[in-house]
Amino acid sequence: MKKLKYLGFPVLLLALILPMSCNDNFLDTQPLDKISSDATWADGPLSQAFIFNVYSFLGYGGFEEQALASICDEAMFTHAGRNINTFTEGNESPGGLAWISPTYEWGTMYLAIRQANIALANLPTATFADTELRDRLIGEAYFLRAYYYHQLVRYYGGVPLIDRPYGLNEDYSVARSSYEECVNFIIADLDKAIGLLDGKPATPGRASKLSAMALKARQLAYAASDLHDASKAQSKSPALASYSNIELIAYTSGSQNQRWQAAHAAAKAVLDAGEGYKMDLTAPVSPEEGRQNYLSIAMGGQSAVGDPAAAVELIFQRTHTPEFTVEDNWPLGGIHYGINNGPNGYHNWAGNTPIQQLVDDYEMMDGSKFDWNNNQHKADPYANRDPRFYSTIMYDGSDWKPRPSDVAALDPADQIQTGYYDDGNGNLLNGIDTRESSIENWNGSRTHYYTRKFIDANPALPDNQSNAQTIPWPFLRYTEMALIYAEASIELGQEAEARTWINKIRFRAGMPAINDSGDALKQRLRNERRIELAYEEHRYHDGRRWMIGDQLGRGIKAINVTATLKPGKTPHVPYRHDKSVYDYKYEVFDNTENETRVWNDKMYFRPISRDEINRNNLLVQNPGY
């Protein structure tokens, strides 16, 4: 095999991007255009810089302009022409791929895996003296390779397993490994990472023993799920039943129960080794404290409006600050989740807006289901809901930050305006956060909701295009492990244990304990994941592994809100939300402006592109394509 002589200077640049410790003087020791391979592996800081480059393929995590939430029943992407509908309308094909995040994309992930393989080929024989650092870097490389394969496997099923850096003039044709082989490979890498990272410091943004344990638990839970059990999958889907290479996407032998046992044990190991945020409560907190707890978790302990102690919830995170970011072409740098998703009345872009199906799945405060057939619920649908609702979704009349200076006179109350309001003269005023707004009439929500979660509510941060948040993306967090443990407990018949951990999560949110059993408990667990992990890139994968694709593709429902004056009342000028002055009417409707969603069972897996198939004639396509 021919070794690459030069690794390229992006290694050095990315070492500055990521929030990790490094020798400040090493920049002066090498030319600023290229670094030789021999020099890299002879120098601890340079070797570390190379590993930082491997981290860079994590990208923004879920803080991209288009979110995974918008290809399932969480959100609608407001702006047409982004190739999302190619997937949601069931039209994706090998020659016509839909939008896909770089953090899952085939070529990008294999480039990341190649970088990890280069590190794993060279670090064991690295000549720098710091063996503790060397072992840590090897452990991180194993973790990152496992993570990137995990991303591929949960999109495509079994993929070609490459465990070394190919040289020039080699045959790059490699067949897909079975799903079981891929899972075994990922778990083996994680077990190596766990051993090598044992005793190493836990640095935010870097892999640790605990994060390797957590990724192992998640991968085992996916492996135990119905989508990856051949008999279950084929019995539930004609498209999968007729697939002649079922081993590429599912286990064809072994016990699903034993796979759940493995996930159960792995998740419990994380729960015992880690520390969640306020997970030791024996009764629900107040609704206000529940809102604040959930907000603090979403902020990752990084915002002035949250509790810094909530940072303990994060097991593995993508950390951004204005000092290290690839978005350096923006004013102040940083991430721009608020700009991408906030209300247009704040000069934001309304990107991934919640749909009514998600809103409706938030329970009432007493733990009962919300029901449009209940007249009390219908008359005031945003009252007395799960406190996490208020920290996740902006709705008509909800409080938000002070308006920008050019808008403040139109809304001194700082309330979201996504409705249409009686002006007292027989006309309806357009809320300033609607698409008909006088502020910006092209960036308004089509569902009449906005994302609240992950947007910093600190009023000192302006909601404009110079805003740079410092909120970390939660790749892995403690509560996900509790939910995996509870799910595995249900599958293994340990219902009391499952209820205990579900209730720990609910108590922190201010919600009452549950007493469900049987299928009702399973459905409650699934809804708890939906609510607790909303907008964290879980729902799309959960819906597929549970094989409830009909729910993922159940269309887009939105809401119209109309306020009419009560008899004898005078309208507020400027308008503000006031139930004593206005009667509010809420009407749910189907929105098909950008897409008409469907579900086709081929959508349980993404297609391998025609270009990849043409480059590698050993590849077998996924079912339905």
**Model pLDDT, residue 458:** 85
pLDDT, tens only, 94-150? 999 999 999 999 999 999 999 999 999 999 999 999 999 999 999 999 999 999 999
Q: Note whether 198 and 151 are within 8 A (CB).
A: no
Is pLDDT at 465 greater than 80 in this prediction? no
Residues 6+ apart with CB under 8 A from 501: 271, 482, 483, 485, 486, 489
pLDDT, tens only, 40-74? 999 999 999 999 999 999 988 998 899 999 999 99
Averaged over 186-197, what is the pLDDT?
98
323-337, 426-440, 492-506: range with lowest mean pLDDT: 323-337
Q: Is residue 304 situated within a structural domain?
A: no
**Model pLDDT, residue 463:** 58
Is pLDDT at 234 greater than 90 in this prediction? yes
22-31, 147-156, 163-172, 294-303: range with lowest mean pLDDT: 22-31
Burial of residue 373 (number of CB atoms within 10 Å: 0-12, 13-18, 19+): exposed
Q: What angle do CA 15, 17, 20 make, to 5 degrees?
A: 60
Q: Which two tokens mark 361?
A: 């799945």
**Model pLDDT, residue 467:** 54
Helix (H, G, I), strand (E, B) or coil at 140: helix
Q: Which two tokens mark 199?
A: 């005793």
More confident residue, 5 or 550: 550
Averaged over 505-532, what is the pLDDT?
98
**Model pLDDT, residue 464:** 55
Is pLDDT at 591 greater than 50 in this prediction? yes
The dihedrals phi and psi of 558, each to the nearest 5 degrees, come to: -130, -175
304-308, 330-334, 483-487, 515-519: range with lowest mean pLDDT: 330-334
Name the average pLDDT for the chain: 91
**Model pLDDT, residue 4:** 34
**Model pLDDT, residue 611:** 96
pLDDT, tens only, 554-569? 999 999 999 999 999 9
Q: Note whether 128 and 42 are within 8 A (CB).
A: yes
Q: What is the DSSP letter of 321?
A: B
- Owning domain of residue 23: 10-73+93-250+608-615
Query: Is residue 93 very low, low, confident or very high in pLDDT (cuts 50, 70, 90)?
Result: very high
pLDDT, tens only, 243-286? 999 999 999 999 999 999 999 999 999 999 999 999 999 999 99
Residue 613 φ/ψ region, left for φ over 0, alpha for ψ in the -120 to 50 degree band, beta for the rest? alpha
Is pLDDT at 17 greater than 90 in this prediction? no
Q: Which two tokens mark 502?
A: 């579900």
pLDDT, tens only, 363-399? 999 999 999 999 999 999 999 999 999 999 999 999 9
| Rg, C-alpha atoms of the chain | 25
**Model pLDDT, residue 36:** 76
Q: What is the DSSP letter of 124?
A: G
CATH number for position 62: 1.25.40.390
Averaged over 347-361, what is the pLDDT?
96
Is pLDDT at 169 greater than 90 in this prediction? no
Name the percent of the chain lying above pLDDT 90.
Answer: 84
Q: What is the number of residues in the chain?
A: 625
Q: Pairing mode, if any, of strands 420-422 and 428-430? A: antiparallel
Q: Is residue 309 situated within a structural domain?
A: no
Q: Is residue 205 situated within a structural domain?
A: yes
Tally the domains of the chain: 1
Averaged over 11-19, what is the pLDDT?
37
Q: Note whether 263 and 220 are within 8 A (CB).
A: yes
Distance of CA 326 to the CA centre of its chain: 19
Name the percent of the chain lying above pLDDT 70.
Answer: 91
Q: Is residue 570 situated within a structural domain?
A: no
**Model pLDDT, residue 459:** 84
Q: Which two tokens mark 444?
A: 């308004």
Q: What is the DSSP letter of 274?
A: S
Query: Is residue 303 very low, low, confident or very high in pLDDT (cuts 50, 70, 90)?
Result: confident
Residues 6+ apart with CB under 8 A from 100: 155, 606
Q: Cis before residue 574, ω within 30 degrees of 0? A: yes
- Tally of CB atoms within 10 A around 4: 12
Q: Is residue 497 situated within a structural domain?
A: no
Q: Is residue 15 situated within a structural domain?
A: yes
